[in-house]
Chain A
Amino acid sequence: DTGVSQNPRHKITKRGQNVTFRCDPISEHNRLYWYRQTLGQGPEFLTYFQNEAQLEKSRLLSDRFSAERPKGSFSTLEIQRTEQGDSAMYLCASSLLAQGPDTQYFGPGTRLTVL
């Protein structure tokens, strides 16, 4: 399977701890997106990368959140000092710019529970 993969699939943590999620996009996809989905809502955009450059961040992405895509391949999303309000599904998606306004392919998500 060469789809978007995310790890871990589930993460339970205590309030105040740091967590890191990983996303591996479809090979050769140069755009990578992070979204957050809370219960009963549609996904909300957090940030996106074109290759290794982080080009846009939502105001939802507080300073406790940081994302990287060091070599233009996989990406990590770190949340520092987690709060209960961070509990959500974190979705990663990738797309290929060469295909123009692009179809985003989603991973299975990482479900975060902050106790």
Chain B
Amino acid sequence: AQTVTQSQPEMSVQEAETVTLSCTYDTSESNYYLFWYKQPPSRQMILVIRQEAYKQQNATENRFSVNFQKAAKSFSLKISDSQLGDTAMYFCAFMKLGAGSYQLTFGKGTKLSVIP
């Protein structure tokens, strides 16, 4: 079974600053994807970024980038130039590949507050 750990229950950042959210995972699988999802207050969960484990290059999406350390089983999210709209719960998630449902295993989340 896979586990995902987010060790920072809450974080805050000043608007326009950079913040890094941590995520570690435990798996014996070699073929998997990792995701960061954002859940704004009272709104639905949306995908921020995803990383294929076989790719060494870290994924980037505009102001969002990841630091994927496969050997260390670490997958952190960096948000640059933080904006008020980035205030949300952020969930790290793991997806095992191969036969099966491709279900997501989530961490407990990090509540990020962007301060004006």
Question: Which A positions have Cβ atoms within 8 angstroms of B?
Answer: 3-4, 31, 33, 35, 40-45, 48, 55-56, 91, 95, 101-109
Please, which residues of chain A bring their CB within 8 A of the CB of B59?
Answer: none
Complex: how many Å from CA A105 to CA B52?
18
CB distance from A109 to the nearest CB of B (A): 7
Complex: how many Å from CA A108 to CA B41?
11
Please, which residues of chain A bring their CB within 8 A of the CB of B103?
Answer: 33, 45, 48, 56
Question: A40 and B108 in contact (CB under 8 A), knowing A101-B95, A106-B45, A106-B46?
Answer: yes
- Decide: B100 and A56 in contact? CB cutoff 8 A: yes
Most buried by B among A33, A42, A43, A109: A42
Complex: how many Å from CA A14 to CA B1?
35
Name which residue of chain B comes closest to A3, CB basis. Answer: B44
Q: A41-B108, A42-B108, A43-B91 are in contact. List 11 more A-B contacts (CB 8 A).
A: A3-B44, A4-B44, A33-B101, A42-B107, A45-B104, A45-B105, A55-B101, A56-B100, A56-B103, A101-B102, A103-B35
Total contacting residues, chain B, CB less than 8 A: 25
- Decide: B33 and A42 in contact? CB cutoff 8 A: no
CB distance from B24 to the nearest CB of A (A): 14
Complex: how many Å from CA A71 to CA B18?
47
Complex: how many Å from CA A107 to CA B105?
17
- Decide: B100 and A42 in contact? CB cutoff 8 A: no
Looking at chain B's contact residues, the main secondary structure is strand
Quick one: which of B64-116 are within 8 Å of A by CB?
91, 93, 95, 97, 100-109
Q: Is B43 an interface residue (CB 8 A)?
A: yes
A-B contact pairs, 30 of them (CB 8 A): A3-B44, A4-B44, A33-B101, A33-B104, A40-B108, A41-B108, A41-B109, A42-B4, A42-B91, A42-B93, A42-B106, A42-B109, A44-B106, A45-B105, A48-B101, A55-B101, A56-B100, A56-B101, A95-B102, A101-B95, A101-B97, A101-B102, A103-B47, A103-B50, A104-B102, A106-B37, A106-B44, A106-B46, A107-B44, A108-B44
CB distance from A61 to the nearest CB of B (A): 12
